[in-house]
């Protein structure tokens, strides 16, 4: 009887250890959810958008709501949220928070998460720009890592010096951005503002833009410059990263390379959305 008692105690001890070890593993796992805004009216019209503050299209509202439903179904509960200063990302975040019943959590709006500024291309039709300058040149402007489009000067309404939401900063006379210069604002912001929240155990939600999120996943997944040029992030589709104690991505099942995070939703439909983004200047 004493042997049975000792065996039971040993089994109970092992079970307690497994539960404790699982708890430690869970505590060392940090969740980051990225959502590119739903389709905007200028996405629909196939126009270079950048920092122009266009709204979501009707389809974009639906995409954002559906993305929120997917996050809710996954049981993910954000503790804090970040977005840009542009209404298409802000509205997407509102939809996601409403669908996940998290509208009460803190929200931070930050210009550092804005879309890449497209300089003199902002407001131009993508296909007409291809017809004028050639597909190869437009592809360089649109997808190369470090070659920006032609800049705008301060006489242009697209220059940030002429927009009151950016009035607290000094801006150069001419302004444009490449993905490389977008990364130079996104990654320091992530490291200084978001990393401490993740380390403190918060689940973080970011609703932003195609290029600001490309810059962030380049950093998270250590993607090289040539590969990131070919990476497309679909609208309204949650991308979930589980990060280890060093905030390095834990590779997820069904991740679409080169990403290590996983998209929520129908994987075939997600691949079709990715192709849709890729084909915008064809």
Report the binding-site residues for substrate: 36-43, 49-50, 88, 115-118, 126, 142-143, 210-211
Residues annotated within the binding site are 36-43, 49-50, 88, 115-118, 126, 142-143, 210-211
Catalytic residue among 37, 158, 159, 209: 37
Is 219 part of the annotated catalytic residue set? no
CB 57 within 8 A of CB 65: no
Catalytic residue among 63, 112, 115, 177: 115
C-alpha 149/C-alpha 15 separation (Å) is 60
Cα 258 to the center of its chain, rounded Å: 15
Q: How many CB atoms lie within 10 A of CB 66?
A: 19
Is 115 part of the annotated catalytic residue set? yes
Q: Strand pairing of 239-243 and 80-83? A: unpaired
Shortest CA distance to 116 belongs to which of 174, 61, 38, 186? Answer: 186
Please state, in angstroms and as integers, the Cα–Cα distance from residue 181 to each residue in 9, 100, 193, following that order.
Answer: 60, 33, 19
205 has which bridge partners?
A: 33, 81
Q: Which helix (H) or strand (E) holds 263?
A: strand 262-263
Count of alpha carbons within 13 angstroms of residue 30, beta-carbon side: 20
Which amino acids are annotated catalytic? 37, 115
């Amino acid at each position: 009887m004493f042997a049975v008692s000792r065996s039971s105690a040993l089994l109970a001890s092992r079970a307690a250890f497994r539960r404790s070890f699982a708890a430690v593993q869970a505590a060392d796992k940090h969740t980051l959810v990225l959502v590119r805004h739903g389709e905007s009216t200028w996405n629909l019209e196939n126009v270079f958008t950048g920092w122009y503050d266009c709204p979501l299209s009707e389809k974009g509202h639906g995409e954002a709501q559906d993305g929120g439903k997917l996050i809710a179904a996954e049981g993910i509960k954000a503790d804090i949220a970040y977005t840009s200063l542009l209404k298409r990302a802000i509205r997407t975040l509102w939809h996601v928070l409403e669908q996940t019943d998290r509208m009460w959590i803190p929200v931070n709006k930050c210009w550092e998460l804005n879309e890449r500024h497209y300089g003199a291309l902002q407001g131009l039709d993508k296909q007409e720009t291809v017809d004028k300058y050639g597909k190869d040149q437009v592809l360089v402007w649109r997808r190369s890592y470090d070659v920006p489009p032609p800049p705008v000067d301060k006489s242009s309404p697209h220059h940030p010096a002429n927009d009151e939401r950016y009035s607290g900063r000094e801006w150069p006379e001419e302004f444009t951005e490449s993905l490389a210069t977008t990364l130079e604002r996104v990654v320091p912001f992530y490291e200084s503002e978001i990393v401490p929240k993740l380390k403190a155990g918060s689940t973080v939600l970011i609703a932003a833009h195609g290029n600001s999120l490309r810059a962030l996943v380049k950093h998270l997944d250590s993607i090289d410059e040539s590969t990131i040029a070919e990476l497309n992030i679909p609208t309204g589709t949650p991308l979930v990263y589980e990060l280890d104690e060093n905030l390095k991505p834990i590779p997820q099942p069904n991740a679409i390379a080169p990403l290590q995070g996983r998209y929520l939703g129908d994987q075939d439909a997600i691949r079709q959305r990715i192709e849709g983004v890729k084909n915008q200047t064809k």
